[in-house]
Amino acid sequence: MNSTIIWTIVILAGLGLVLSLVLYLVAKKFKVEEDPRIDEVEKVMPGANCGGCGFAGCRAFAEAAVKAPNLDNNYCPVGGNEVMKQVAAILGYEIKEKAPMVAVVRCNGSCANRPAVNIYDGVKSCKVKAALYSGDTACSFGCLGCGDCVEACQFGALSMNPETGLPQVDESKCTACGACVKACPKAVIELRAKGPRGMREFVSCINRDKGPVAKKACAAACIGCGICAKTCTHDAITVENNVAYIDSGKCKLCRECEAVCPTGAIHGVNFPKPLDVEATKARIAKRKAEAASGQPVATKGPGSMVNGPLAAQAVPSDAPINKVVSK
Amino acid sequence: MNKNVTFSIGGIHPNDNKIARGCAIEALPLPQTLYVSVAQHLGAPAKPVVAVGDKVKTGQVIAEPGGFISAFVHSPASGTVRSIAPRKDLAGNWMTHIEISVEGDEWVEGVDLSDTLVTGIPEDIPATLEKIKACGVVGLGGATFPTHVKLNPGPQAHPECLILNGAECEPFLTSDYRIMLEKTKEIIVGAAIMQKVLGGVKTVIAIEENKPEAIEAMRKALSELPYGNISVLVMKKRYPQGGEKQLIDAVMRRQVKSGALPVSVGAVVQNVATSLAVYEAVQKNKPLITNTLTVTGDCLPVERQHNYLFRIGMPLSFIAEYAGGVPAEAAKIVSGGPMMGKAIANLDAATVKGSSSILYLSGKLTKRREEGSCIRCGRCSDACPMGLEPFLLNRLYKAGDVEGLEANAAQDCIECGCCLYSCPSFIPLLDNIRMAKGQVMGVIRARAAAAKAAADAAKNENKK
């Protein structure tokens, strides 16, 4: 009885010893040499594995970053400059700082602004809907409202607003990974520079139809009238394919375009004070009068928010921008 | 009569609802304005060759092919070109349309407008093909593939059998049935012309058993006409028998491989309406500017149902109005059959060569029921005429597994809708599989493009 127990222990212990030796030798022989920096880089990554950087996940990004000769093409939008600084410190590279970005929904075709002309009862997926037809309103460019972007967001930053039927972005949660941009079949969502203290101006419409058609489809559509471009003293607005676009690199946040837009398609967000339309219009009129009378006109918008302490935080002009390109 | 002729796998038996079968074809009057789309066919859109302000005659070329797979477009009436501008199509998407303000119906010269039957088959095959091309004939079974391309499969191909598709398996539609009754002989002459072009192959006119009058008429006309090697085949009623691959299976008992063309098994399939268009093009010099369309639906009383001979470019709203307006009970208006047709998002859209119906469906028939869970009953797999597993494809699509989708042949889906029709849990299988098919086709095309680029690069290397 006793000997059985002893023999069992001896045999199992012996087996364990032999197998551990085999494992040790195998591990020695087939050891894969890996740059230890990959692990270090991976550790400082956010670990969201969202794919926003263009790689399959944080590990893949770390591998690519270690292999690359510099960090110019590798940037983690989720971690932002903070994380990239740490990565750069580990790898001994320089980084180009990028302005923090945020997802912006460029459509204000709410239920009130953009009446439905037919009823869609198909699969609740923007992709399926876009493949079937132009959408349930007369606007064939705007948000389809099935929430593919909400589903794509891993950070819970997007939600559908039941009142407007449009997605809304929670800026505190948005990491600018770009998953929603890829998920939107209509290219409504754009990653834009967040702007100083989150303040930014953008055209909340991408309708390329001619003015009357766009206006008929949606009360808040950009009609491509070009008044904003004519008013802008910073050369930040271009009107292409009947729709205006504000270059966030050039915009000085003077909000004059917002004041003159006849359909309210230009939106300014996170400004400390609401826009005083009358005062701004008066300012523009005064400047125009001055220009007509031959007096020199200030090159910078007089009311520019960037004059003063905020100027240092201004968006660098080489910030990447997803511009509307005509097909 | 062999009643067991049908395709071998899958299929469903929807109620055929051919309510408008008794309505003789009636020619529509011309509206004041016609909007002719440049994308009337599969392939590249046509390029307009007229300018704003030009006077055009009926049957005059107004747009020429924009590529190899493309077709001529002719003016459907005489009048003045008022604009060439984007206009919304059926789905509400912008497409270039040529707007013609109608001033009359004066035809171009050389068109035989009489009803006399011309039975002599021209001997010159290239000239016949050229005529078919010049008259802008496209397949009218639904896909609107240019007919001259399909009838000229190349020297490697060996067509053995021409199948004339008179199945009209979609419920409600009766336009093919009506032309088989009213233009029987013309269709047979058209078939004989195509038979000649393909080298005198065996020709089968395949008709489903629910159209006994058409079968009778075809048999009678065949015995009166001098053509040999043309026969009528009666098939069992089953959806989607009119699908090209299903029809070949039913008639020839041969299966077309995945990704292959029907001619690889020796088959060429043409719709009966295409045959009529070929007859008019070759024997009468008449370009394809008319087709037959059914105004029908479950919420339309029988006396208001019609089969119309329309001109291309007529706004659907004009036809609907002429037919007495949209019924109040209509919950959905569909262009095409209830199984494969598309819901019309814009009733102002203009008809195209392939338009086949305005279908008013009631809420009862079109209601989307709430999606349940897959209970693995396998009905979708039983119903799929392509032998696919729709429930699996649906799952793979949701998981985003494009490789798995390709391995399970999502690209072979013919979008017939049998899976969706048979699903007891109302899972939107077709919608998801259609998206999956698009993804897989994209991958296949990208791969083909990459292979071609690599081959070209290798060629250039060799030259150096």
More confident residue, A19 or A120: A19
The SS3 call for residue B460 is helix
Per-residue pLDDT band at A321 (split at 50, 70, 90): very low
Interface ipTM: 0.85
Chain A residues whose beta carbon lies within 8 Å of the beta carbon of residue B93: 133-134, 140
Q: What is the pLDDT of residue A99?
A: 83
Query: From the CB of residue B50, how many other CB atoms can be counted at a distance below 10 Å?
Result: 18
pLDDT digits (tens, 9 = 90+) for B154-208: 888 899 999 999 999 999 999 999 999 999 999 999 999 999 999 989 999 999 9
Mean pLDDT for the stretch of residues A131-148: 91
Q: What is the pLDDT of residue B464?
A: 66
More confident residue, A98 or B402: B402
Kindly report which listed range (A104-108, A176-180, A314-318, B309-313) carries the lowest average pLDDT score: A314-318
More confident residue, A239 or A93: A239
Of A125, A133, A140, the CB nearest to B94: A140
Is there a contact between A134 and B342 if contact means CB atoms under 8 Å apart?
A: no
Chain B residues whose beta carbon lies within 8 Å of the beta carbon of residue A140: 88, 92-94
More confident residue, A325 or A82: A82
Is the predicted pLDDT of residue A282 greater than 50, yes or no? Answer: yes
pLDDT digits (tens, 9 = 90+) for A254-264: 999 999 999 99
Mean pLDDT for the stretch of residues B269-278: 96
Q: What is the pLDDT of residue B232?
A: 95
Per-residue pLDDT band at A1 (split at 50, 70, 90): low
Question: At CB < 8 A and 24+ separation, what contacts does B323-327 make?
Answer: B323/B295, B323/B358, B326/B360, B327/B297, B327/B299, B327/B300, B327/B360
More confident residue, A306 or B67: B67
Is the predicted pLDDT of residue B140 greater than 70, yes or no? Answer: yes
Q: Which residue of A has its CA nearest to B92?
A: A134
Nearest chain A CA: its distance from B218 CA (Å): 38
Ramachandran angles phi, psi of B203, nearest 5°: -125, 130
Q: What is the pLDDT of residue A316?
A: 43
Query: From the CB of residue B103, how many other CB atoms can be counted at a distance below 10 Å?
Result: 14
Q: What is the pLDDT of residue A314?
A: 42
Q: What is the pLDDT of residue A52?
A: 84
Is there a contact between B93 and A133 if contact means CB atoms under 8 Å apart?
A: yes
Is the predicted pLDDT of residue A318 greater than 50, yes or no? Answer: no
pLDDT digits (tens, 9 = 90+) for A142-162: 999 999 999 999 999 999 999
Is there a contact between A121 and B93 if contact means CB atoms under 8 Å apart?
A: no
pLDDT digits (tens, 9 = 90+) for B290-305: 999 999 999 999 999 9
Q: What is the pLDDT of residue A230?
A: 92
Is there a contact between A127 and B93 if contact means CB atoms under 8 Å apart?
A: no
Is the predicted pLDDT of residue A304 greater than 60, yes or no? Answer: no
Mean pLDDT for the stretch of residues A273-293: 89
Q: What is the pLDDT of residue A300?
A: 46
Q: How far lies B342's CA from each of A227, A305, B90, B416, in Å?
A: 41, 52, 8, 12
Averaged confidence pLDDT in chain A:
86
Q: Is B400 touching A (CB cutoff 8 A)?
A: no
Is the predicted pLDDT of residue A308 greater than 90, yes or no? Answer: no
The rounded distance, in Å, linking the Cα atoms of A278 and A276 is 6
Is the predicted pLDDT of residue A311 greater than 50, yes or no? Answer: no
The rounded distance, in Å, linking the Cα atoms of B451 and B449 is 5
Mean pLDDT for the stretch of residues B249-266: 92
Is there a contact between B92 and A127 if contact means CB atoms under 8 Å apart?
A: no
Q: Is B342 touching A (CB cutoff 8 A)?
A: yes
Mean pLDDT for the stretch of residues B348-377: 92
Ramachandran angles phi, psi of B12, nearest 5°: -135, 175
Q: Is B93 touching A (CB cutoff 8 A)?
A: yes
Q: What is the pLDDT of residue B362?
A: 93
Kindly report which listed range (A200-209, A256-265, A296-305, B294-303) carries the lowest average pLDDT score: A296-305
Instruction: For residue B183, give the nearest of B310, B90, B292, B321 by alpha carbon.
Output: B292
Is the predicted pLDDT of residue B312 greater than 90, yes or no? Answer: yes
Averaged confidence pLDDT in chain B:
93
Q: Which residues pair with B235 in a beta bridge?
A: B208
At A26, list the tokens.
């195998």
pLDDT digits (tens, 9 = 90+) for B323-339: 999 999 999 999 999 99
Mean pLDDT for the stretch of residues B241-261: 93
The pTM is what?
Answer: 0.83
Is there a contact between A140 and B93 if contact means CB atoms under 8 Å apart?
A: yes
Q: How big is the CA angle at B164 (ends B162 and B169), to the nearest 5 degrees? A: 135
Q: Which residue of A has its CA nearest to B90?
A: A133
For the CA atoms of A239, A240, A244, A250, the dihedral, rounded to the nearest 10 degrees, stands at: -70
Mean pLDDT for the stretch of residues B51-78: 94
Is the predicted pLDDT of residue A307 greater than 50, yes or no? Answer: no
Is the predicted pLDDT of residue B88 greater than 70, yes or no? Answer: yes
Chain A residues whose beta carbon lies within 8 Å of the beta carbon of residue B434: 128, 131
Is there a contact between A133 and B434 if contact means CB atoms under 8 Å apart?
A: no
> Judging by DSSP bridges, how do beta strands B161-166 and B202-208 pair with one another?
parallel
Per-residue pLDDT band at B93 (split at 50, 70, 90): confident
Is there a contact between B92 and A134 if contact means CB atoms under 8 Å apart?
A: yes
Q: What is the pLDDT of residue A313?
A: 44
Q: What is the pLDDT of residue B1?
A: 47
More confident residue, B138 or B4: B138
Q: What is the pLDDT of residue B168?
A: 93
